[in-house]
Amino acid sequence: MSHRLFGILLATLLLAGALPMIPSLLNASMGSARAQTELLVDGDFESNETGKQLRAREEPQGWYESRRDGSEGRLLLKLSTKKVGRNESRKAMIKASPQFNTYLSQRLAAPQEGRLSISWDVYVREILPPYNRSAFQMIGNASVKGRGPNGAGAERFVFLGFENAEKPGKINLFAFEGGPDQEWDTRTLVASDLDLKRWHTIAVDVDVEKQTYSVSIQGVSEAPVQVRAFKSKKKPVPKVLTHVSFASWNDGPGTFYVDNVRTK
């Protein structure tokens, strides 16, 4: 056998041996790309059969009720299977209560210190007086002991909520920015006169280092609105983001639905 022929034969044998490995090599590289981009699981809530599951999937990673304001508070987080707007799929529902705080939370697959883009669908059914604020949407961390993620001001970075607009049937999206010279609950208007009882897709692009984020509402915003990260009076702005939360408070009760929470 000539050297050349031997070389070709050897190359063919090597290639034939490597061929079966190619799919697994491809999978491995795609898997790592997926792990990098998919920071959240079950963003469409379809893997839940019951509200009980939805409230308790903290480990290894999933949605859970994080505030633990008694069993009554926890039960206000429900799995909705009814048609809401045009959405007949499974979604999370938080029910208004002037007595209890309820949080739908999930830990991100990896802590975030750079840039981060998350979007979600939200449908507000009602915001109760007298506080006229609810359906809180937060990205932050769980650095303060005892209250769960995004439970204290110092844990919140993205800090959005809805209020009833002056026109009946309309709501405004606002941000809390806080700051040293402001009361924590001073509102920054992000978008006005959105329809109550309608799904809206909210997207945020976060820059953790710069302590800012932009907010846009699909089909509504002409340009993203730039907002400062929330700064509580006595604490620094969070430098690491680890959790997403949606909440209703006893001093900010509202009934709303969340679906399709995704990272870009």
Residues that bind Ca ion (CB under 5 A): 44-45, 89-91, 259
For residue 28, give both structure tokens.
Answer: 């491995």
Q: Which is nearer to Ca ion, 229 or 258 (CB)?
A: 258
3-state helix, strand, coil in the chain (%, to 5): 15, 40, 40
> Could you tell me if 97 and 253 are in contact, meaning their C-beta atoms sit under 8 angstroms apart?
yes
- Of 187 and 198, the one with the shorter C-beta distance to Ca ion is 198
Nearest distance from C-beta of residue 46 to Ca ion, angstroms: 6
Q: Are 119 and 200 in contact (CB under 8 A)?
A: no
Closest to Ca ion by CB, 45 or 256? 45
Decide if 255 contacts 125 (C-beta within 8 A).
Answer: yes
State the minimum distance, in angstroms, from the CB of residue 184 to Ca ion: 33
Cis peptide bond prior to 60, omega within 30° of 0 = yes
Is residue 191 within 8 Å of residue 171, measured between CB atoms? no
- As measured in angstroms, the least distance from the Cβ of 65 to Ca ion is 18
Least distance between Ca ion and beta carbon 86 (Å): 12
DSSP state letter for 33: H
- Do 141 and 253 meet the contact criterion of CB atoms below 8 Å apart? no
Nearer to Ca ion, 44 or 195 (CB): 44
Which residue has its beta carbon closest to Ca ion?
89
Pick 89 or 182: Cβ nearer Ca ion: 89
The distance from CA 137 to its chain's CA centroid, rounded to whole angstroms, is: 7
In whole angstroms, the minimum distance from the beta carbon of 130 to Ca ion comes to 33
CB of 84 to Ca ion, least distance (A): 10
Which tokens hold the place of 261?
Answer: 């929470």
Closer to Ca ion by Cβ: residue 120 or 230: 120
Strand, coil or helix: 195: strand
Question: What is d(CA 215, CA 204) in angstroms, rounded to the nearest whole number?
Answer: 5
